[in-house]
Amino acid sequence: MYEFILKERFVTVLATVLLAFLASSLVGAGRLWLRGLMYNLAPAMAAAFYAVAFLAQPQPNSMDLIAGLLFEITVLALFFRLLFKLKQDIMLISKEDVARVLKWTVVVQILFALPNMTTAGFGLFSEGSRIDYLSANSLAKYYTYAGLLISAVQAAFLASLVTERGYLGILGWAVIITNLVLSVLAGSKGGGFLWLLSIASLIEYRRARIHSCKIIMVLLIGGGAVLISSLIIAKFFSLELGDFIELAMSRFFLYNDARALSLDLRTSQSADFSFFSEAFRSLGNLFGSPPRNDPLGVVLYEEKFSITNGGGANSSFMALATYYFPIGYALIPALMGMVGAIFLTGGALISVKLFSRPAPRVMVTSIWLASFLTYSQDFLAFQVLLPLATLAVLTIWVCRRYFYATTTQL
């Protein structure tokens, strides 16, 4: 299956588009199918993997493929539901709130980035893997994921800024440059470019009335930034620019690497109902059932490619389900995962209703959406993001109540 996902690219792209349109239509957001793909391609690519996998020879167990397809389509549809809510509120944010949030977030973002940048093994400064710093500092992963949540919030407010003004301005460019610089320093292979696409997906272009010359200028500047960052990262990894571009393009299809490898490498020894201790690693330790293996992505890369430096794939939910459940039984964890995704989305939408103003609603929706995107793609990271997201939402709620209490007294 691993080789299959790299060979059948055209069919996968076609399935990705069709499933995005289907899932968005199911939740009444059919017009957002393209914007959803621009905002984040992973949920649609995951669903497309299981749809296209029926064409593979030899074909994996059909019941497991059906389980994966049902789970990923559910996640994809709920993703579009949250995106639809985000789009609704973005158009209502005031100029003052946009400026205030962008100023504060860029300051906090830099403060969270500094500890990681001064840690050995960080990004471009690492002598080995660009994520070595995560094992060198117990708080590093929390700083990293906090930065991810902040970037998600900034994307929504930058889209509102462009929609209202038709241009970014000094503040907008400062936020974008900060994110691109941090992305390059982290050694990300295209993360900054994907973040820019997420901003573009949220802009209401008819309302923005952006002149064509501005669009051309932004495309040239954006293209130049992507080229420069690609040259820097390619040099760091000792790659030719063409090889780096090929690697970056392949990375889109490798969203499904753990899903494919879990089907390729599952055995009677791996599929022994140890899903709960391996998927909920922290809880397993707490309840006396600790995980026996490294994170699944590390296990798969070590077995397939003999990589022993701790690098690996993202431990997607369905990869955990197929690898640690016997063949033909993946529907059991898939159904539980679908219920969990529904409850998570419902809780997110309820928490948004706690806020009356558009700005905090957009912040909260962006935070939950960023967290939800890891639910399928990197279930282990999701368990780190969930408490961070909860804490962030509570902080926003407390700050808003304090702000209005003090302004009312004045």
Tens digits of per-residue pLDDT, 85-110? 999 999 899 889 999 999 999 999 99
pLDDT score of 410 more than 50: no
pLDDT tier, 312 (very low <50, low <70, confident <90, very high otherwise) = confident
Say if residues 163 and 91 touch (Cβ distance below 8 Å): yes
> What's the mean pLDDT in 292-310?
83
* Structure confidence at residue 408 (pLDDT): 41
Residue of higher predicted confidence among 240 and 347: 347
Residue of higher predicted confidence among 409 and 148: 148
Say if residues 380 and 295 touch (Cβ distance below 8 Å): yes
For 242-256, 260-274, 393-407, which range has the lowest pLDDT when averaged over its residues?
242-256
Residue of higher predicted confidence among 277 and 351: 351
pLDDT score of 266 more than 70: yes
CA distance 138 to 18: 42
Task: Enter the tokens of residue 219.
Answer: 């495309």
Say if residues 248 and 230 touch (Cβ distance below 8 Å): yes
Three-state SS at 190: coil
> What's the mean pLDDT in 142-165?
92
pLDDT tens per residue across span 16-40: 999 999 999 999 999 999 999 999 9
Matching residue, tokens 């460019």: 173
Model-wide pTM > 0.95: no
CA distance 155 to 174: 13
Say if residues 98 and 164 touch (Cβ distance below 8 Å): yes
Residue of higher predicted confidence among 199 and 136: 199
* Structure confidence at residue 400 (pLDDT): 79
> What's the mean pLDDT in 47-60?
91
* Structure confidence at residue 362 (pLDDT): 96
Say if residues 272 and 324 touch (Cβ distance below 8 Å): yes
Contacts of 172 (CB under 8 A, 6+ apart): 102, 158, 161, 162
* Structure confidence at residue 273 (pLDDT): 63
* Structure confidence at residue 26 (pLDDT): 93
* Structure confidence at residue 409 (pLDDT): 40
Say if residues 251 and 190 touch (Cβ distance below 8 Å): yes
What secondary structure letter does DSSP report for 290?
Answer: -
Range list of H helices, 280-357: 281-286, 296-305, 317-324, 331-352
Looking at the DSSP bridge assignments, the partners of residue 122 are 131
CA angle at residue 266 from 263 to 272, to 5 degrees?
Answer: 130
Express as a percent the part of the chain with pLDDT over 90: 47
CA 272 distance to own-chain centroid: 30
> What's the mean pLDDT in 222-231?
70
Residue of higher predicted confidence among 308 and 360: 360
pLDDT tier, 125 (very low <50, low <70, confident <90, very high otherwise) = low
Residue of higher predicted confidence among 210 and 296: 296
Task: Enter the tokens of residue 378.
Answer: 């990197």
Range list of H helices, 27-94: 33-39, 42-52, 62-90
Q: How far apart are the first and last CA of the chain?
A: 64
Say if residues 60 and 318 touch (Cβ distance below 8 Å): no
Task: Enter the tokens of residue 367.
Answer: 């935070």
Express as a percent the part of the chain with pLDDT over 70: 82
Mean pLDDT of the chain, nearest integer = 85
